Every structure is written in structure tokens, then in C-alpha cells.
Amino acid sequence: MTNILHIKSSILGDAGNSNQISQKFVDQYLVTHGGSELTVRDLGENPIPHLTGEVIGGYGLAPEDRNETQAEAAALSETLINELRTADIIVMGLPMYNFGVSSSMKAWIDYVARAGETFTYTENGPEGLLTGKKAYVFAARGGKYVGTPTDTQTGFIQTIFGFFGIVDVEFVYAEGLAMGEDPKAEALATAEVKLIELAAA
């Protein structure tokens, strides 16, 4: 059985383009890979709070020594990390907001990037602890940036996943979504062809 983790991060719910195209991929994948198990983590609907020094300090304490804030945050971090650990396939919807990932996606990253849990440091440098997984990233943008320095997302997400040991990462882009109805329709249609192809593999 394949476990799929669908991480959504649009602030626009079902109207979000990244939510829609990543959802289409998941729906298609479930058709072509019967018996798969799906977990959804919707960061737009249920945002992760900012990471704080108090929270980080709590990780190092025995559970009985944590205050309420620290206990809640540690439990959330463990839940999010377990979702990642359990997943064979990670499907990420990735809107571009103000030239970066959404603040809720960044907060999610801050809660799952934990030494000894998702990565470790060895004498040879950092080593990811979540190997053997495949990730699909569905990036939605108002403008067009692939292959330019303004594409701040591709390298960042590749770096984060790579840090966790997830090196098989496939990107599907829907770009130019704010550049008129025709370019938008064309971009979404191109993304759809690609996602159907990927889901069938």
C-alpha cells in the first residue's frame, strides 16, 4: 500500500490554483494506484503558528517539564513529522506569494526540520533521515519565473527536501496565471497534461 501525504498551502481554499492542480494529481494517482492511503495537511485552512524560541526550548525538555505552549507545539511537530515519515509519496501544492513560499508553508518547514528526527549531522555533514520517498510539487504563480533567479521556490524546496533525504522531487509549474485568461487556461492545461502523465507512471 502506498501512503500519500497531500500538503496544501493556498490561502484560497478550493479556489487556489495550487490546491486545484495538486488535487487533480492526487485524484488521478488514486485512480491509477488503487489501494493507496491519503492524508491531507491543509496549511491554508489550519495554519501552523510561527516557530518561537520558547517552542524550540521545549523540544529539549522532558515532556513533564514543558509548559502548555511547549507541549502543544511539540505534539504538533511530532504529528507533522509522523505524517512525513509515514508517507511514500508527498504531494505539495506551492503557491507563490510575494516571491516566496506561503508563510504557512515556511512555518510547516520550521516545525518538521528537526535534528534527530528528519535530519542529522554526521562528521561528513548533514544527512537526511527520510530517504526512499518521492515528492511532487505543484507550483502556481501569477508571473513566469522558471529558469530565472526570481524562481526562489524551486531551489529552496529542493534544498529542504534534500536536507530530509528526499531527493526524488518532480516539479509541475502553472505559471503566468495573472497574465490574462488565455495564458492562464493554457498554463493550467499544460500542467494538467503533465500531472496526468506523472500520475500514470
Binding-site ranges for ligand FMN (CB under 6 A): 10-12, 16-19, 95-99, 140-143, 177-178
What are the cell numbers at 73? Answer: 507545539
192: CB partners within 8 A, 6+ apart: 21, 24
Phi, psi angles (nearest 5°) of residue 179: -105, 20
Cβ at position 150, least distance to ligand FMN in Å: 8
Nearer to ligand FMN, 8 or 133 (CB): 8
44, amino acid identity = G
Nearer to ligand FMN, 115 or 178 (CB): 178
Nearer to ligand FMN, 117 or 151 (CB): 151
SS (H, E, C) 10-66: CCCHHHCHHHHHHHHHHHHHHHHCCCCEEEEEECCCCCCCCCCHHHHHHHCCCHHHC
Cβ at position 101, least distance to ligand FMN in Å: 11
Cβ at position 50, least distance to ligand FMN in Å: 17
Cβ at position 104, least distance to ligand FMN in Å: 11
Nearer to ligand FMN, 2 or 152 (CB): 152
